[in-house]
Amino acid sequence: MNINYPYLLFVGNATDSLSIKMARSAADWSPEKCLAEYRLPGCTVTTGCPAMNIQQAAQAGAKSFVLGFANSGGFLDPQWIPTILEAMDAGMDIVSGLHDKLTDIPELQQKAKALNLQLIDIRHPVTRFKTGTGKKRIGNRLLTVGTDCSVGKMYTTLSLTNEIQRRQVPATFRATGQSGVLVSGDGVAIDCVIADFISGAAESLSPENSSEHWDIIEGQGSLSHPAFAGVSLGLLHGSQPDSLVVCHALGREHMRGLPLQPLPTIEQTINLNLAHAKLTNAQARVVGIAINTSSVDAEQALQICQSISQQTGLPCSDPIRHGVTSIVDNLL
Protein backbone atom coordinates (compact mmCIF):
# COMPACT_ATOMS: atom_id res chain seq x y z
CA MET A 1 0.00 0.00 0.00
CA ASN A 2 1.46 3.31 -1.03
CA ILE A 3 -0.21 6.08 0.95
CA ASN A 4 1.33 9.49 0.25
CA TYR A 5 1.86 11.85 3.20
CA PRO A 6 1.59 14.25 4.93
CA TYR A 7 -2.08 13.74 5.73
CA LEU A 8 -4.94 16.12 6.29
CA LEU A 9 -7.12 14.26 8.83
CA PHE A 10 -10.82 14.92 8.22
CA VAL A 11 -12.95 14.50 11.36
CA GLY A 12 -16.15 16.14 10.07
CA ASN A 13 -18.60 17.16 12.78
CA ALA A 14 -17.80 14.23 15.08
CA THR A 15 -18.75 14.44 18.76
CA ASP A 16 -17.54 11.01 19.99
CA SER A 17 -13.80 10.63 20.39
CA LEU A 18 -14.03 6.88 19.75
CA SER A 19 -15.65 7.57 16.39
CA ILE A 20 -12.54 9.33 15.05
CA LYS A 21 -10.26 6.38 15.77
CA MET A 22 -8.71 6.41 12.29
CA ALA A 23 -7.63 10.04 12.67
CA ARG A 24 -6.49 9.70 16.28
CA SER A 25 -4.53 6.53 15.55
CA ALA A 26 -2.60 8.25 12.77
CA ALA A 27 -1.96 11.32 14.94
CA ASP A 28 -0.81 9.24 17.92
CA TRP A 29 1.27 6.57 16.14
CA SER A 30 2.41 8.28 12.92
CA PRO A 31 2.61 11.93 14.01
CA GLU A 32 5.39 12.60 11.49
CA LYS A 33 2.89 11.86 8.69
CA CYS A 34 0.09 14.11 9.99
CA LEU A 35 0.10 17.75 8.90
CA ALA A 36 -3.24 18.92 10.29
CA GLU A 37 -6.86 18.08 11.02
CA TYR A 38 -9.92 19.52 9.30
CA ARG A 39 -12.88 20.04 11.66
CA LEU A 40 -16.33 21.32 10.76
CA PRO A 41 -18.65 23.43 12.94
CA GLY A 42 -20.21 21.24 15.64
CA CYS A 43 -17.17 19.00 16.00
CA THR A 44 -16.32 18.63 19.70
CA VAL A 45 -13.36 16.24 19.50
CA THR A 46 -9.80 16.60 18.26
CA THR A 47 -6.71 14.59 17.35
CA GLY A 48 -4.50 17.31 18.81
CA CYS A 49 -3.16 18.22 15.35
CA PRO A 50 -3.30 21.88 14.24
CA ALA A 51 -6.52 22.89 12.49
CA MET A 52 -6.44 23.68 8.76
CA ASN A 53 -9.02 23.80 6.02
CA ILE A 54 -8.49 22.10 2.67
CA GLN A 55 -6.93 25.10 0.93
CA GLN A 56 -4.55 25.81 3.81
CA ALA A 57 -3.48 22.18 4.02
CA ALA A 58 -2.94 21.95 0.26
CA GLN A 59 -0.73 25.03 0.35
CA ALA A 60 1.20 23.49 3.25
CA GLY A 61 1.84 20.36 1.16
CA ALA A 62 -0.84 17.81 2.25
CA LYS A 63 -0.79 14.81 -0.08
CA SER A 64 -3.65 12.65 1.30
CA PHE A 65 -7.07 13.50 2.69
CA VAL A 66 -7.82 10.84 5.31
CA LEU A 67 -11.45 10.19 6.26
CA GLY A 68 -10.75 9.97 9.95
CA PHE A 69 -14.13 8.90 11.26
CA ALA A 70 -16.06 5.65 11.35
CA ASN A 71 -19.60 4.61 12.15
CA SER A 72 -21.22 1.29 12.91
CA GLY A 73 -21.76 -0.24 9.50
CA GLY A 74 -19.06 1.82 7.80
CA PHE A 75 -21.41 3.93 5.70
CA LEU A 76 -20.06 6.84 3.69
CA ASP A 77 -22.50 9.68 4.27
CA PRO A 78 -23.27 11.29 0.89
CA GLN A 79 -23.03 14.71 2.60
CA TRP A 80 -19.22 14.31 2.62
CA ILE A 81 -18.88 13.85 -1.13
CA PRO A 82 -18.59 17.59 -1.95
CA THR A 83 -15.84 17.88 0.72
CA ILE A 84 -14.00 14.89 -0.75
CA LEU A 85 -14.26 16.37 -4.24
CA GLU A 86 -12.88 19.66 -2.90
CA ALA A 87 -9.87 17.85 -1.42
CA MET A 88 -9.28 16.13 -4.77
CA ASP A 89 -9.46 19.47 -6.58
CA ALA A 90 -6.78 20.63 -4.15
CA GLY A 91 -4.58 17.75 -5.35
CA MET A 92 -4.99 15.20 -2.55
CA ASP A 93 -5.42 11.42 -2.72
CA ILE A 94 -8.34 10.13 -0.64
CA VAL A 95 -7.94 7.46 2.05
CA SER A 96 -10.97 5.71 3.57
CA GLY A 97 -11.45 2.96 6.13
CA LEU A 98 -15.21 2.62 5.61
CA HIS A 99 -17.09 -0.39 4.28
CA ASP A 100 -18.58 1.78 1.51
CA LYS A 101 -15.94 1.95 -1.18
CA LEU A 102 -14.71 5.24 -2.61
CA THR A 103 -14.15 3.42 -5.89
CA ASP A 104 -17.86 2.56 -6.09
CA ILE A 105 -18.81 6.25 -6.33
CA PRO A 106 -18.72 7.30 -10.01
CA GLU A 107 -18.10 11.03 -9.33
CA LEU A 108 -15.02 10.19 -7.28
CA GLN A 109 -13.79 7.65 -9.82
CA GLN A 110 -14.11 10.18 -12.65
CA LYS A 111 -12.29 12.92 -10.80
CA ALA A 112 -9.54 10.56 -9.64
CA LYS A 113 -8.96 9.53 -13.24
CA ALA A 114 -9.06 13.08 -14.56
CA LEU A 115 -6.63 14.41 -11.91
CA ASN A 116 -4.50 11.23 -11.66
CA LEU A 117 -5.19 10.81 -7.94
CA GLN A 118 -5.53 7.66 -5.80
CA LEU A 119 -8.71 6.46 -4.07
CA ILE A 120 -7.47 4.12 -1.32
CA ASP A 121 -10.05 1.88 0.39
CA ILE A 122 -7.76 0.45 3.05
CA ARG A 123 -10.41 -1.73 4.62
CA HIS A 124 -10.98 -3.74 1.47
CA PRO A 125 -8.69 -6.72 0.99
CA VAL A 126 -7.16 -7.07 -2.44
CA THR A 127 -6.08 -10.66 -1.72
CA ARG A 128 -8.18 -13.76 -2.37
CA PHE A 129 -8.09 -15.76 0.88
CA LYS A 130 -8.43 -19.49 1.53
CA THR A 131 -10.47 -21.09 4.28
CA GLY A 132 -8.60 -21.82 7.52
CA THR A 133 -6.68 -25.04 8.08
CA GLY A 134 -5.94 -24.90 11.82
CA LYS A 135 -2.42 -26.18 11.02
CA LYS A 136 0.29 -25.21 13.51
CA ARG A 137 2.85 -22.69 12.18
CA ILE A 138 6.37 -22.12 13.47
CA GLY A 139 6.97 -18.81 15.29
CA ASN A 140 5.23 -17.21 18.27
CA ARG A 141 1.98 -15.29 18.25
CA LEU A 142 0.33 -12.93 20.72
CA LEU A 143 -3.25 -11.71 20.25
CA THR A 144 -4.95 -8.89 22.14
CA VAL A 145 -8.59 -9.58 23.06
CA GLY A 146 -11.16 -7.35 24.69
CA THR A 147 -14.05 -7.15 27.08
CA ASP A 148 -15.65 -4.94 24.40
CA CYS A 149 -14.95 -3.12 21.11
CA SER A 150 -12.82 0.05 21.17
CA VAL A 151 -11.18 -0.61 24.54
CA GLY A 152 -7.57 -0.06 23.43
CA LYS A 153 -6.55 -3.29 21.68
CA MET A 154 -4.68 -1.51 18.89
CA TYR A 155 -2.80 0.84 21.22
CA THR A 156 -1.90 -2.10 23.46
CA THR A 157 -0.72 -4.15 20.48
CA LEU A 158 1.48 -1.33 19.19
CA SER A 159 2.88 -0.70 22.69
CA LEU A 160 3.70 -4.40 23.13
CA THR A 161 5.39 -4.54 19.71
CA ASN A 162 7.56 -1.52 20.51
CA GLU A 163 8.56 -2.90 23.93
CA ILE A 164 9.43 -6.36 22.55
CA GLN A 165 11.48 -4.84 19.71
CA ARG A 166 13.26 -2.58 22.25
CA ARG A 167 14.50 -5.77 23.91
CA GLN A 168 16.03 -6.92 20.59
CA VAL A 169 13.46 -9.69 20.16
CA PRO A 170 12.18 -9.89 16.57
CA ALA A 171 8.51 -8.86 16.51
CA THR A 172 6.01 -7.63 13.92
CA PHE A 173 2.82 -5.67 14.50
CA ARG A 174 -0.01 -7.31 12.54
CA ALA A 175 -2.86 -4.90 11.81
CA THR A 176 -6.40 -6.29 11.60
CA GLY A 177 -8.41 -3.05 11.45
CA GLN A 178 -8.46 0.00 9.24
CA SER A 179 -6.68 2.21 11.78
CA GLY A 180 -3.91 -0.33 12.28
CA VAL A 181 -3.54 -0.75 8.53
CA LEU A 182 -3.23 3.04 8.17
CA VAL A 183 -0.57 3.19 10.89
CA SER A 184 1.49 0.22 9.72
CA GLY A 185 0.85 0.50 5.96
CA ASP A 186 0.07 -3.23 5.88
CA GLY A 187 -2.37 -5.82 7.26
CA VAL A 188 -5.91 -7.06 6.73
CA ALA A 189 -9.09 -5.37 7.97
CA ILE A 190 -10.48 -8.67 9.17
CA ASP A 191 -14.06 -7.44 9.61
CA CYS A 192 -14.25 -6.71 5.89
CA VAL A 193 -13.31 -10.25 4.81
CA ILE A 194 -16.03 -12.62 3.52
CA ALA A 195 -17.24 -14.58 6.57
CA ASP A 196 -16.10 -17.99 5.24
CA PHE A 197 -12.49 -16.75 5.15
CA ILE A 198 -12.06 -15.00 8.53
CA SER A 199 -9.80 -17.70 9.97
CA GLY A 200 -7.99 -18.25 6.69
CA ALA A 201 -7.26 -14.52 6.39
CA ALA A 202 -5.97 -14.50 9.99
CA GLU A 203 -3.73 -17.47 9.18
CA SER A 204 -2.28 -15.65 6.18
CA LEU A 205 -1.69 -12.52 8.27
CA SER A 206 0.76 -14.27 10.62
CA PRO A 207 2.52 -16.81 8.41
CA GLU A 208 5.17 -19.28 9.50
CA ASN A 209 8.24 -17.49 10.80
CA SER A 210 11.49 -18.17 12.68
CA SER A 211 11.09 -19.89 16.03
CA GLU A 212 12.16 -16.80 18.01
CA HIS A 213 9.91 -14.34 16.11
CA TRP A 214 6.74 -12.85 17.63
CA ASP A 215 3.73 -11.72 15.65
CA ILE A 216 1.84 -9.24 17.81
CA ILE A 217 -1.69 -9.37 16.42
CA GLU A 218 -4.27 -6.63 16.90
CA GLY A 219 -7.54 -8.09 18.19
CA GLN A 220 -11.01 -7.09 16.99
CA GLY A 221 -14.38 -6.83 18.73
CA SER A 222 -15.10 -9.09 21.68
CA LEU A 223 -16.33 -12.65 22.14
CA SER A 224 -19.04 -11.08 24.31
CA HIS A 225 -20.33 -8.60 21.72
CA PRO A 226 -23.52 -9.88 20.00
CA ALA A 227 -22.70 -8.09 16.75
CA PHE A 228 -19.00 -8.88 16.38
CA ALA A 229 -18.19 -12.05 18.34
CA GLY A 230 -18.01 -14.08 15.12
CA VAL A 231 -15.18 -11.89 13.83
CA SER A 232 -13.37 -12.16 17.18
CA LEU A 233 -13.69 -15.96 17.22
CA GLY A 234 -12.50 -16.43 13.64
CA LEU A 235 -9.52 -14.15 14.31
CA LEU A 236 -8.71 -16.09 17.50
CA HIS A 237 -8.74 -19.46 15.72
CA GLY A 238 -6.73 -18.24 12.75
CA SER A 239 -4.16 -16.49 14.93
CA GLN A 240 -3.49 -19.63 17.06
CA PRO A 241 -2.06 -17.37 19.78
CA ASP A 242 0.49 -18.72 22.23
CA SER A 243 -0.21 -15.70 24.43
CA LEU A 244 -3.19 -13.44 24.96
CA VAL A 245 -3.42 -9.99 26.51
CA VAL A 246 -6.89 -9.01 27.75
CA CYS A 247 -7.81 -5.35 27.16
CA HIS A 248 -10.46 -3.41 29.05
CA ALA A 249 -11.60 0.21 29.30
CA LEU A 250 -12.70 1.61 32.66
CA GLY A 251 -16.03 3.37 32.90
CA ARG A 252 -17.81 1.38 30.18
CA GLU A 253 -21.38 0.73 31.36
CA HIS A 254 -22.57 -1.54 28.55
CA MET A 255 -21.28 -3.11 25.35
CA ARG A 256 -20.44 -0.41 22.81
CA GLY A 257 -23.55 0.65 20.87
CA LEU A 258 -25.86 -1.71 22.81
CA PRO A 259 -27.29 -0.02 25.93
CA LEU A 260 -29.01 -3.21 27.10
CA GLN A 261 -26.01 -5.53 26.78
CA PRO A 262 -23.97 -5.86 29.99
CA LEU A 263 -20.16 -6.01 29.95
CA PRO A 264 -18.42 -9.29 30.85
CA THR A 265 -15.93 -9.26 33.71
CA ILE A 266 -12.20 -9.53 33.05
CA GLU A 267 -12.24 -13.05 34.54
CA GLN A 268 -15.08 -14.11 32.21
CA THR A 269 -13.15 -12.66 29.27
CA ILE A 270 -10.02 -14.59 30.25
CA ASN A 271 -11.92 -17.86 30.59
CA LEU A 272 -13.98 -17.48 27.42
CA ASN A 273 -10.98 -16.62 25.26
CA LEU A 274 -8.76 -19.34 26.71
CA ALA A 275 -11.48 -21.97 26.25
CA HIS A 276 -11.71 -21.15 22.54
CA ALA A 277 -8.00 -20.49 21.98
CA LYS A 278 -7.21 -24.07 23.02
CA LEU A 279 -9.05 -25.36 19.93
CA THR A 280 -6.06 -24.41 17.78
CA ASN A 281 -3.34 -24.04 20.44
CA ALA A 282 -3.45 -26.19 23.56
CA GLN A 283 -0.61 -24.11 25.10
CA ALA A 284 -2.45 -20.77 24.93
CA ARG A 285 -2.18 -18.64 28.08
CA VAL A 286 -3.06 -15.12 29.17
CA VAL A 287 0.09 -13.11 29.96
CA GLY A 288 -1.32 -9.78 31.08
CA ILE A 289 -4.16 -7.29 31.34
CA ALA A 290 -4.12 -3.86 29.67
CA ILE A 291 -6.47 -1.23 31.06
CA ASN A 292 -7.49 2.00 29.40
CA THR A 293 -7.66 4.20 32.52
CA SER A 294 -8.27 7.51 30.74
CA SER A 295 -11.55 8.02 32.61
CA VAL A 296 -9.88 8.20 36.09
CA ASP A 297 -7.00 10.14 37.68
CA ALA A 298 -3.42 8.84 37.93
CA GLU A 299 -3.67 7.61 41.50
CA GLN A 300 -6.92 5.73 40.92
CA ALA A 301 -5.44 4.25 37.74
CA LEU A 302 -2.52 2.76 39.64
CA GLN A 303 -4.75 1.41 42.41
CA ILE A 304 -7.15 -0.22 39.98
CA CYS A 305 -4.37 -1.87 37.98
CA GLN A 306 -2.77 -3.20 41.20
CA SER A 307 -6.09 -4.54 42.38
CA ILE A 308 -6.79 -6.31 39.06
CA SER A 309 -3.28 -7.74 39.13
CA GLN A 310 -3.87 -9.18 42.61
CA GLN A 311 -7.25 -10.64 41.62
CA THR A 312 -6.02 -12.30 38.45
CA GLY A 313 -2.40 -13.06 39.36
CA LEU A 314 -1.34 -11.38 36.11
CA PRO A 315 0.61 -8.19 35.37
CA CYS A 316 -1.80 -5.32 34.73
CA SER A 317 -1.09 -1.80 33.47
CA ASP A 318 -2.33 1.04 31.30
CA PRO A 319 -0.09 0.90 28.19
CA ILE A 320 -0.30 4.67 27.67
CA ARG A 321 0.19 5.73 31.31
CA HIS A 322 2.43 2.95 32.64
CA GLY A 323 3.88 1.18 29.62
CA VAL A 324 3.80 -2.59 29.20
CA THR A 325 7.13 -3.69 30.70
CA SER A 326 5.58 -5.98 33.32
CA ILE A 327 3.45 -7.73 30.67
CA VAL A 328 6.43 -8.20 28.36
CA ASP A 329 8.53 -9.47 31.32
CA ASN A 330 5.89 -12.14 31.85
CA LEU A 331 5.61 -12.88 28.11
CA LEU A 332 9.33 -13.39 27.46
Who contacts 33 (Cβ-Cβ below 8 Å, separation ≥6)?
5, 6, 7, 26
Residue partners of 238: CB distance under 8 A and separation at least 6: 132, 198, 199, 200, 201, 202, 203, 205, 280
Is residue 205 near a second copy by the rule CB under 8 A?
no
Q: Which stretch binds a second copy (CB under 8 A): 15-23, 179-187, 276-284, 318-326?
A: 276-284
Residues 6 or more apart whose CB falls under 8 angstroms from that of 61 comprise: 6, 35
Build a one-symbol-per-residue string for 28-57: x at contacts with a second copy by CB under 8 A, - elsewhere: ------------------------------
Nearest-approach distance from CB 153 to a second copy, in angstroms: 16
Among 98, 117, 120, 233, contact with a second copy (rule: CB under 8 A): 233
Beta strands in 32-186 (DSSP E): 34-39, 64-67, 93-96, 119-121, 140-146, 171-174
Taking CB under 8 A as the rule, does residue 280 contact a second copy?
yes
Q: Count of residues binding a second copy (CB under 8 A)?
A: 42
Q: Which of 199, 206, 269, 293 binds a second copy (CB under 8 A)?
A: 199
- 19/46 with CB nearer a second copy: 19
* Minimum gap (Å) between residue 72 Cβ and a second copy: 5
Rule CB under 8 A: is residue 227 a binding residue for a second copy?
yes
Q: How far is the CB of 243 from a second copy (least distance, A)?
A: 18
238 or 315: CB nearest a second copy: 238
Q: Can residue 234 be called a binding residue for a second copy (CB under 8 A)? A: yes
Q: Of residues 55, 115, 130, 307, which one binds a second copy by CB under 8 A?
A: 130
Q: Which is nearer to a second copy, 77 or 196 (CB)?
A: 196
Considering only residues 94 to 113 of the shown chain, the ones binding a second copy according to CB under 8 A are: 99
* Residue 200 is a binding residue for a second copy (CB under 8 A): yes
Alpha carbon distance 212, 170 (integer Å)? 7
Nearer CB in complex with a second copy: 234/288: 234
Interacting residue with a second copy among 192, 216, 246, 247 (CB under 8 A): 192
Coil, helix or strand at residue 84: helix
Q: How many CA atoms lie within 13 A of 44 on its CB side?
A: 4
Residue 5 CA to residue 13 CA, distance in Å, equals 23
**What single-letter DSSP state applies at residue 49?**
S
- CB closer to a second copy out of 82 and 226: 226
How many CB atoms within 10 Å of residue 71? Answer: 14
C-alpha Rg value of the chain to the nearest Å: 20
DSSP string, 270-317: HHHHHHHHTTT-TT-EEEEEEEE-TTS-HHHHHHHHHHHHHHHTS-EE
Q: Tell me the window of 7-15, 37-45, 127-135, 309-317 that interacts with a second copy (CB under 8 A).
A: 127-135
Contact 330, 246 (CB under 8 A): no
- Closest separation between CB of residue 121 and a second copy, Å? 13
Question: What is the DSSP code (8-state) at residue 259?
Answer: T
Collapse the DSSP code of 138 into the 3-class scheme (helix H, G, I; strand E, B; otherwise coil) and give the result: coil
Q: Where along the sequence are the contacts to a second copy (CB under 8 A)?
A: 72-74, 99, 130-135, 190-200, 224, 226-235, 237-238, 255, 257-258, 260-261, 276, 279-280
